[in-house]
């Protein structure tokens, strides 16, 4: 049984779509107001203003020195290691925007 689409056309479409799938980002940008910085646990608690992750959330800092970039009651934006924000997960901050 012959297909109406030649195999070369199917292959061509796959080649065009494949880079878009491969280069899809697995990160989420989050902005909010810093509530608490815990240097012992290396975490920061933020009241997130972004609609993708609303509410008070705790995030893991990349290292102890990163805590100096956060000031309580200051609005801060950063990128986390996930493309969505789960309440049950402690997401890691991988980039602080503007630093």
- The tens digit of pLDDT for each residue in 58-86 reads 999 988 787 788 999 999 999 999 998 88
What is residue 18's predicted lDDT score, i.e. its pLDDT? 53
Nearby residues of 75 by Cβ (< 8 Å), 6 or more positions away: 31, 32, 33, 34, 49
Q: Look at residue 43 and tell me whether its pLDDT is greater than 50.
A: yes
CA neighbor of 56 nearest in space, from 66, 46, 65: 46
Q: Quick count: other Cβ atoms within 10 Å of Cβ 1?
A: 2
Give 88's pLDDT tier (boundaries 50, 70, 90). confident
Q: Is residue 64 a contact partner of residue 32, using CB atoms and an 8 Å limit?
A: no
pTM: 0.70
Nearby residues of 85 by Cβ (< 8 Å), 6 or more positions away: 28, 30, 48, 52, 53, 57, 91
Please give the CATH topology (third level) of the domain spanning 28-96: OB fold (Dihydrolipoamide Acetyltransferase, E2P) (2.40.50)
Strand partners, 96: 78
């Amino acid at each position: 049984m012959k297909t109406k689409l030649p195999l070369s056309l199917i292959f061509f479409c796959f080649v065009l779509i494949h880079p878009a799938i491969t280069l899809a980002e697995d990160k989420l940008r989050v902005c909010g107001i810093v509530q608490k910085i815990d240097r012992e646990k290396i975490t920061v608690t933020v009241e997130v203003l972004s609609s993708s992750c609303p509410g008070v959330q705790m995030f893991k800092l990349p290292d102890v020195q990163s805590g100096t970039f956060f000031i309580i009651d200051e609005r801060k934006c950063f990128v986390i290691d996930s493309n969505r924000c789960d309440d049950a997960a402690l997401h890691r901050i991988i980039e602080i925007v503007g630093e």
